[in-house]
Structure formats: C-alpha cells, structure tokens
Amino acid sequence: MTSTRRAGPARPLLIAALLILAAALAAALLRPRPATTSTPAPQTTSQASPAATAASGTLPARVMDARVVAVPPGIRETSVFATLRSTGDADVRLTEVSSPAAGHAMLMVTRTQDNMTGMSMTDALTLPAGGTLTLSDTADHLMLMDLREPLQPGQTIPITLTDDQGRTLTIQAPVVKP
Ligand SMILES: [Cu+2]
C-alpha cells in the first residue's frame, strides 16, 4: 500500500482549505434559492404604498472610492473596498452581493478578538441611517469568489449590492493594484 500523505508546510494549506470551505459554504447557502420568477415575499401586503410592492428600487446610498484588489493569475478570489454613505433616513441592511466577474460573492466582517484578527462571512452589513459604512481591509468588506477571469488593473467590475427589501445598487469598481 502506498501512502499519499505528504510532509510539508501545513499552515498555507490549512488557510487555503478554510477559504475553500468558506466558499463551499457560501455556495451551499446561496444555491437553494430557486431562480423561478415568483413574486417576492409579500411581507408588506397590508401596506397600500406602491413603493412597498415594487420588486426593487435603488438603495438610498452613494458609493465613494470603490475598488477591487487585483490578484495574480491563479488566485480566484479578491476583496472589494469602498465607502458607502447613506442618503436615507432608515438603516439599510445589505444582505447580498453579486458580480458577473465572480461565481459568487460574500459579505465579510473582520474582527479582532484576543489579539487575533480574522474575517468571516456574515448575513448582513448595516449602513446606518445618515451614516457611512466603510468597507476596507481592516473592517467589513466584500469578497468576490470563483473569479471567472484574471482581474487586470484598469478594468472596471460591476458589483451589485442588495438589501433585505430587494433594493439594489450597482457599483462600477475599478481594479487597482494591492
Ligand atoms: Cu475577506
């Protein structure tokens, strides 16, 4: 019997394995949503307001300084940073991110606990009413996974944010060197 076990640096492999696991989890979470064109969940049917029945609208936010970090060929995931400024008078709960450049995308939080900093997926990022949400490498951010093509600096990537009311905002984010 031959053993395929290899000795080697375990840590990069572990990190890679964790990233793949996170990607697989995200894919599993995103997949069950059926792509049928049924009407959106009628949570607010008692309201007669036409705004409540609109399938979508534009998120009340302005986006500044959006950028996608260029990655070397072979790397299939990257981060997206930006500053979102609320133009509305209610908190916005961002629950989804997508891009045609990526197989899927994730909302991420970075947290430091016991002097260890790590990032993890989150179900939602909140843009506070009248405030800002900073997406950066040391804070909340977005990640594009399963990149379909290598990203070249100078390219512009569309990224769509969706909130829990189905409102969307598409950012045109330039690819920049890290
Ligand atoms: Cu990340």
3-state secondary structure 159-175: EEEEECCCCEEEEEEEE
**67 Cα–ligand 1 center, Å:** 14
> How far, in Å, is the centroid of ligand 1 from the Cα of 48?
41
Mean pLDDT of the region 23-34:
46
Where do the domains of the chain lie, and which CATH numbers do they carry? Answer: 58-176 (2.60.40.1890)
Q: Measuring CA to CA, how many Å separate 25 from each of 18, 20, 92? A: 10, 8, 25
In the reported structure, the alpha carbon of residue 46 is separated from the centroid of ligand 1 by a whole-number distance in angstroms of 40
Instruction: Report pLDDT digits (tens) over 118-167.
Output: 899 999 999 999 999 999 998 999 999 999 999 999 999 999 999 999 99
Note residues around ion ligand 1 (Cβ under 5 angstroms): 108, 119, 143
Which of 81, 91, 96 minimizes the C-alpha distance to 61? 91
Helices (H) and strands (E) in the chain, counts: 2, 10
* Chain segment 75-116, per-residue pLDDT in tens: 999 999 999 999 999 999 999 999 999 999 999 999 888 888
What distance in angstroms lies between residue 89's CA and the mean position of ligand 1's atoms? 29
Element of type H or E holding 138: none
Query: Can you give the pLDDT at residue 116?
Result: 87
Rounded to the nearest angstrom, the distance between the alpha carbon of 4 and the centre of ligand 1 is: 32
pLDDT at 11: 53
Query: Residue 138 Cα, ligand 1 centroid: separation in angstroms?
Result: 9
Whether residue 53 has pLDDT greater than 80: no
Assess contact for 124 and 106: CB atoms under 8 A.
Answer: no
Q: Please say if the pLDDT value at position 50 is more than 50.
A: no
Is residue 67 scored above 50 in pLDDT? yes
**Are 49 and 41 in contact, with CB atoms under 8 Å apart?**
no
CB burial string 153-175: b at 16+ within 10 A, e below:
eeeebebebbbebebebebebeb
What's the one-letter identity of residue 77?
E
CA of 36 to the centre of ligand 1 (A): 30
